[in-house]
């Protein structure tokens, strides 16, 4: 076993150990990763997280492991903590306690600059709201992560990434000149252009009609399989969750118990999928 460990014969890429995220009650904290929206306890009508001494526990002891190249669907009610979990795995938020280890690197050991560099090298993120830079063309948006990663001449890679999502004819268009589906294609090209080992996707089809969303998901799964990217995908759509190798259900800040635990994952909250020992697909409750 190497330093990253193995999960069902594959190297573990993502490991979270006993993650807690507690915020002061009525903190009114603004989290830029959530599109600059003002998030605070109670902002979510469906939120059902619990009070903990001195604050509100948003995540309550989540542990999970995800293998290299595995696609894991994260399901659960609104306000259960799915996005918060993704933010911790991305290193965009720090847990109150517990550790996140990505590709053998403990995020807690990195200062902010090192964490940003590590994230740029390792992780791609796709948001429901696309999060493109409105004043930059499609090509320029895709160039951003390449330039941040120090590629001097990334134009060829950026063009190829846009071609891979069928947008080679819209390179010079601004996001405002593109449809929602096209904007999400640009976001996919931007997320994959640096060939990240980990792709985090938060409801990537949430703002799209079902036909456009389905085309986006075909692209996303195609890119993920082609590049062997490890993916965690938050979705409310059971059909999308079923396309993943495995599902994790988050409820009330915890991974939900229930369902037979697959051979691949001894941790609670995992629902089996076909990747692992041919276990039957099982939709999350
Ligand atoms: N920075 C923060 N400060 C205070 N409360 C927060 C913060 N971030 C999230 N919350 C609260 O934590 C709970 C979980 O939010 P989160 O966005 O992770 O849920 P979710 O499962 O992704 O929901 P949805 O499916 O609606 O997107 C919510 O009650 C939310 O209001």
Q: How far is the CA of 20 from the centre of ligand 1 (A)?
A: 13
Q: Whose Cα sits closest to atom 16 in ligand 1?
A: 81
Which residues have CB under 6 Å of ligand 1?
23, 27, 29, 31, 39-41, 43-44, 47, 49, 58, 76, 78-84
The CA-CA-CA angle for residues 135, 136, 139, to 5°, reads: 165
Q: Hey, where are the domains in the chain?
A: 68-95+110-271
Q: Which pLDDT belongs to residue 24? A: 85
DSSP-derived pairing of the beta strands 123-126 and 198-202: parallel
Q: How far is the CA of 79 from the centre of ligand 1 (A)?
A: 5
Q: How far is the CA of 164 from the centre of ligand 1 (A)?
A: 33
Q: Which pLDDT belongs to residue 53? A: 54
What is the rounded CA–CA span in Å between residue 123 and residue 252?
A: 26
Task: Looking at the CA of residue 87, tell me the nearest atom of ligand 1.
Answer: 18
> Which of 42, 47, 75, 205 most suits a substitution to test ligand 1, by most atoms within 8 Å of the C-beta?
47
Q: Which pLDDT belongs to residue 41? A: 36
C-beta of residue 52 within 8 angstroms of C-beta of residue 218: no
Rounded to two decimals, the ipTM of the complex is 0.94
Q: How far is the CA of 28 from the centre of ligand 1 (A)?
A: 12
How would you write the pLDDT of the chain (285 residues) with one tens digit per residue? Answer: 444 477 777 899 999 999 999 988 765 544 444 544 434 333 333 344 445 456 899 999 999 999 999 999 999 999 999 999 999 999 999 999 999 999 999 999 999 999 999 999 999 999 999 999 999 999 999 999 999 988 878 999 999 999 999 999 999 999 999 999 999 999 999 999 999 999 999 999 999 999 999 999 999 999 999 999 999 999 999 889 999 999 999 999 999 843 333 433 433 444 444 333 323 323 332
Q: Which pLDDT belongs to residue 215? A: 92
5 φ/ψ sector (left φ>0, alpha ψ -120 to 50, else beta): left
What is the rounded CA–CA span in Å between residue 205 and residue 208?
A: 5
88 closest CA partner among 69, 106, 70 = 106
> Which of 43, 54, 200, 236 most suits a substitution to test ligand 1, by most atoms within 8 Å of the C-beta?
43
Q: Which pLDDT belongs to residue 54? A: 64
User: Residue 71 forms beta bridges with which residues?
Assistant: 231
For domain 68-95+110-271, say whether CATH 3.40.50.300 is its number: yes
DSSP-derived pairing of the beta strands 10-23 and 6-7: antiparallel
Q: Which pLDDT belongs to residue 34? A: 52
Q: Which pLDDT belongs to residue 28? A: 54
């Amino acid at each position: 076993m190497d330093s990253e460990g193995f999960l069902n014969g594959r190297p573990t890429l993502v490991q979270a150990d006993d993650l807690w995220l507690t915020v002061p009650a009525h903190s009114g904290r603004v989290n830029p990763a959530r599109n600059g929206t003002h998030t605070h306890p109670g902002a979510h009508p469906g939120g059902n997280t619990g009070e903990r001494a001195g604050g509100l526990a948003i995540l309550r002891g989540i542990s999970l492991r995800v293998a290299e190249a595995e696609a894991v669907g994260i399901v659960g009610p609104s306000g259960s903590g799915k996005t918060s979990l993704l933010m911790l795995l991305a290193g965009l938020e720090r847990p109150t306690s517990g550790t996140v280890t990505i590709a053998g690197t403990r995020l807690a050991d990195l200062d902010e600059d090192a964490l940003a560099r590590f994230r740029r090298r390792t992780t791609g993120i796709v948001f429901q709201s696309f999060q493109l830079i409105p004043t930059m063309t499609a090509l320029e948006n895709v160039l951003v992560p390449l330039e941040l990663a120090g590629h001097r001449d990334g134009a060829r890679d950026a063009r190829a990434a846009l071609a891979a999502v069928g947008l080679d004819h819209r390179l010079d268009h601004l996001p405002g000149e593109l449809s929602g589906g096209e904007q999400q294609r640009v976001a996919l090209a931007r997320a994959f252009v640096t060939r990240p080992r980990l792709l985090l996707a938060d409801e990537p089809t949430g703002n799209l009609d079902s036909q456009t969303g389905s085309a986006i998901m075909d692209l996303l799964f195609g890119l993920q399989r082609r590049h062997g990217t490890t993916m965690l995908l938050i979705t409310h759509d059971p059909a999308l969750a079923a396309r993943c190798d495995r599902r994790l259900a988050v409820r009330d800040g915890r991974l939900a118990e229930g369902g037979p635990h697959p051979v691949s994952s001894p941790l609670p909250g995992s629902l089996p999928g076909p990747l692992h020992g041919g276990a039957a697909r099982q939709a999350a409750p």
